[in-house]
Structure 1
Amino acid sequence: MSNWCEWPPRFLDLKRKIVSETTQERLTASWNDLLGELATRTAEIAKAGPDFVPQVNFADLDKLTPEEISVIKRKGSVVIRDVVDTKTATGWKAELEEFVKANPHAEGTPNQDKQFFHLYWTRSQVQARAHPNVLKASAWLNNLYSVKSGKTLEGVDLSVPLTYADRFRIRHPGGHWGNFPPHIDSGAIERWEDEAFRRCYEDILTGNWRQHDPYELENRLNARMSLYGRPGQASVFRSFQGWLAMSETGPTQGTLRVFPDVQLSNAYVILRPFFRPTVLEDSPDILDPKNWKFDISTADFPGIFPLDRGYKGPLPTPRHHPHLRLRETMTSVPQVYPGDMVFWHCDVVHSVETEHTGSTDSAVMYIGAVPKTPQNSAYIVKQAQTFLVGQNPPDFAKLTDEKMFVGLGTDVDVKEPISRVAMGLPIEVA
């Protein structure tokens, strides 16, 4: 069922404004072309399995061919092997477990058996984000973006990685996790509502989805991904989301799943609010393009939902986004080992497996790729201030101040110049 009744009328005006400069016929033709491409691509993805997600060695990043890089960019996801050595990665996990034992009041979920921790400045996390290899991998990913116009963007350096403090999980075998269904991070209704953010999808919204480049940088710089200040919604531009594995984890063991075609999923999610089915949602003919109609008569945006005086999403579902065939196409990433990293483009539809059928913990630290941009640099300054006083980072809810915890990371845990720049700290350790 649509959630149109929960939407203020201004979003109906927004829809009409967005499509006012293009014709219904042009968008409809583009939509039909997109649905045809999705039918082919989703069938390919559904057959492929985890190995469809690209895998490369950290040591080989600078040796990849243009063809190999093109595959990574199209799929929007990649496993980078051996970013950190096994001993270091497993050591971080052991230290995190000790930290949790020493600080039982640390915020985490589920309450009765904490596994996802709202912690940001443990020594392990600080050291992992500051690791030169982690930052070099981040810079490599940032440089997959480019500027179509070719002009120099002031305050931007894709070769200077920054850090974004995030959380970690140590997921135990068994149990059921339902809190991370297919979703897209970094902005909800903002993708349509914010003019700068909307320009990232301009080709899609003008009937040219095949020209859409998810790696065009310029319009990302001023995009406001958090218009409503909802806690936990990132306000920085992360070129890729990511995590570092601290344990061996594979498919069915509580790992990440992705829809591995960022251009297609972007086009579909962005256009979906402007089309509605003319048959019932559970009809066997729901995928037929003939059974969809251009419609901007309602204010709803399927997959976006009100939350905390703002909006969450996009959360694509089989019901509201049937052409993504999510039950068949959400692809588990391949087996990973301690020290491997997994990254997915900031627009990629992703989820966490609901079941963990393995026999050991599935443990990861969330570490995204963040380029130096004016907006990001401003955030890093504020984030560094919270680090130095042991408070939660600016984007996150102010829960228990971490300065009350035993075993936090400190300024002296960030040693390398590349790491201190990334953290917004003076080059010399105080």
Structure 2
Amino acid sequence: MADSDFTSDMPPQFAALKGEIAASIPDFESKATKAWGELIAELATVTEQVAKQGSSYIPEVEFSDLGKLSKDDVDKIKRIGSVVIHNIVDDEEAMKWKTDLEEFVKANPDVEGFPIDNKQFFELFWTKSQVRARAHPNMLAVSKWLNNVFHVDNAEGVDLNTPLTYADRFRIRHPGGAWTRFPPHVDGGAIERWQDEKFRACFMDVLSGEWRKHDPYDLTSRLHAKTSMYGRPNQCSVLRTFQGWLAMSETGPHKGTLRVFPDILLSNCYIILRPFFKPLVDPTSPDALDAKNWAFDITSPNFPGIYERDGGYGGPRPTERFHPHLALDKTMISIPDVKPGDAVFWHTDVIHSVEEEHLGNEDSAVMYIGAVPSTPGNLEYIKRQAERFVNGVAPPDYARTLEDSFIGIGKAEDVTTAAGRYAMGLTAA
């Protein structure tokens, strides 16, 4: 897909939005310009480091060691924003989930998925494998640990120690073929990052020029942020601390795996400030990497990487043309090798993509399972999700498809532990 496909000419109201933001921050132009130059310099340094280390730049830890990690270890995970956690689930159990999913799809050939003629990414939420994996005690323990990487100030009704379950989909990707549907992108809010006041508050240190103080792990403002203001389908409306997937097969670099930009501080700051600057030279030229060849500009309504879609706005989708300092060709690195029962997690703001090519010899199979804390908004969603589950209907964030007629669909009785049932909204505290 061309870079231009991920940047639309926005309505004039969004130029006014830039003006409102600028007017709300004293001396915004000089502060933003100074921060912009500092970010560009820092990105050049990090790009060089990432290019040298590749996949080894991503932290890897054992599930059994989560409670033993040093502050330095945790700080590294927080700065990079992504982590591989090994041996969460026994290999045999994870592989059995894959086998059961394959049998489910064979028994129910009408399930939705793509590619249409060779389904590999499935619009399914309530298979027994998915239901059981989300409720697995070790997966809930990992979610609890990830939630506690965040912090929140005096927020009533927030419990980082009691994880909830957000139902998502799975993929069983076959070798070969080219997947182009998942280029570098950020989930959890598009234009909302600037338009919604609560969401914008998460990035106020960036907008006020103090970008080094930006804390991606502060939940205080995120609790009330509107990540979906336009009612677009397939948009996550809960507050996830980390997105993630659990491997049901071996996979790794060049095998159709996940890729991430490994510096959440720099990517957040760059994406938030980018709409306030325009290039004075061809953005694809080497000269565009020099901060001197950019000028502060709030006259354009456009927000690079944000585009009109489904009655609302998609993105952010950074591209090499519109976000040259991210050096995506060098900095988007593949997740290291994983085995069945390992999992990968990435902060909800992390730029991520999927490798276009799968050059391996075996399927690359994962279930998407993120980390979700107990908050008033999340609990309200989980209650509605549980009703959908019991009735065999897709979760509230997704198109209202029916699964209750499928052979072998998961049921409430497949969730057997108290913690798992609470996480699914099947029982009260």
Question: TM range, normalised to the smaller chain?
Answer: over 0.9
Q: Which runs of 5+ in 1 are unaligned?
A: none
1:74 pairs with 2:76:
no
Structure 2 Cα separation of the partners of residues 58 and 170 of structure 1:
24
Aligned pairs for 1:12-411 within 5 A:
12-20=15-23, 21-23=25-27, 24-147=29-152, 151-399=153-401, 401-411=402-412
Residue 404 of structure 1 and its aligned partner are, at CA, apart by 1.5
Match of 2:418 in 1: 417
Structure 1 Cα separation of the partners of residues 392 and 244 of structure 2:
24
Structure 1 Cα separation of the partners of residues 87 and 342 of structure 2:
5
Secondary structure of the equivalent of 1:45? helix
Secondary structure of the equivalent of 2:48? helix
TM-score (norm 1): 0.97
CA deviation vs aligned residue, 1:353-405 (integer Å, no higher than 9, x gap):
00000000000000000001111111000000000000000000123x00111
Secondary structure of the equivalent of 1:6? coil
CA deviation vs aligned residue, 1:283-311 (integer Å, no higher than 9, x gap):
22010000011100110000011000011
Secondary structure of the equivalent of 1:221? helix
Secondary structure of the equivalent of 1:169? strand
When residues 411 and 5 of structure 1 are mapped into structure 2, their CA distance, relative to the original with a 3 A threshold, is closer
Aligned 8 A contact 1:4 1:299 in 2: no
Structure 1 Cα separation of the partners of residues 115 and 7 of structure 2:
32
- Which of 8, 13, 16 in structure 1 is aligned with 2:11? 8
Structure 1 Cα separation of the partners of residues 357 and 336 of structure 2:
16
Residue 335 of structure 1 and its aligned partner are, at CA, apart by 0.2
CA deviation vs aligned residue, 1:222-249 (integer Å, no higher than 9, x gap):
0111111111110001100000000000
Aligned-residue identity in percent:
58
Structure 1 Cα separation of the partners of residues 21 and 122 of structure 2:
39
Supply the RMSD in Å over aligned alpha carbons.
1.2
- Aligned partner of 2:58: which letter? V
Secondary structure of the equivalent of 1:404? coil
Residue 422 of structure 1 and its aligned partner are, at CA, apart by 0.5
- Aligned partner of 1:141: which letter? L
Residue 72 of structure 1 and its aligned partner are, at CA, apart by 0.3
CA deviation vs aligned residue, 1:201-225 (integer Å, no higher than 9, x gap):
1100111111000001100100111
Structure 1 Cα separation of the partners of residues 196 and 98 of structure 2:
39
Secondary structure of the equivalent of 2:228? coil
- Aligned partner of 2:410: which letter? G
Structure 2 Cα separation of the partners of residues 283 and 86 of structure 1:
48
Secondary structure of the equivalent of 1:371? strand
- Aligned partner of 1:83: which letter? I
Secondary structure of the equivalent of 1:80? strand
Aligned 8 A contact 1:417 1:427 in 2: no
Structure 2 Cα separation of the partners of residues 5 and 241 of structure 1:
27
- Aligned partner of 1:19: which letter? A
When residues 87 and 427 of structure 1 are mapped into structure 2, their CA distance, relative to the original with a 3 A threshold, is farther
Secondary structure of the equivalent of 1:233? coil
Residue 9 of structure 1 and its aligned partner are, at CA, apart by 1.1
Aligned 8 A contact 2:149 2:217 in 1: yes
CA deviation vs aligned residue, 1:9-54 (integer Å, no higher than 9, x gap):
1111111111212321111011111111111111111111111100
Aligned length: 424
Residue 281 of structure 1 and its aligned partner are, at CA, apart by 1.8
Secondary structure of the equivalent of 1:236? coil
Residue 427 of structure 1 and its aligned partner are, at CA, apart by 6.2
CA deviation vs aligned residue, 1:165-200 (integer Å, no higher than 9, x gap):
000000000000000000001111111111111111
When residues 72 and 309 of structure 1 are mapped into structure 2, their CA distance, relative to the original with a 3 A threshold, is same
Structure 2 Cα separation of the partners of residues 205 and 380 of structure 1:
33
Aligned 8 A contact 1:276 1:293 in 2: yes
Secondary structure of the equivalent of 1:296? coil
Residue 157 of structure 1 and its aligned partner are, at CA, apart by 0.3
TM-score (norm 2): 0.97
- Aligned partner of 1:325: which letter? A
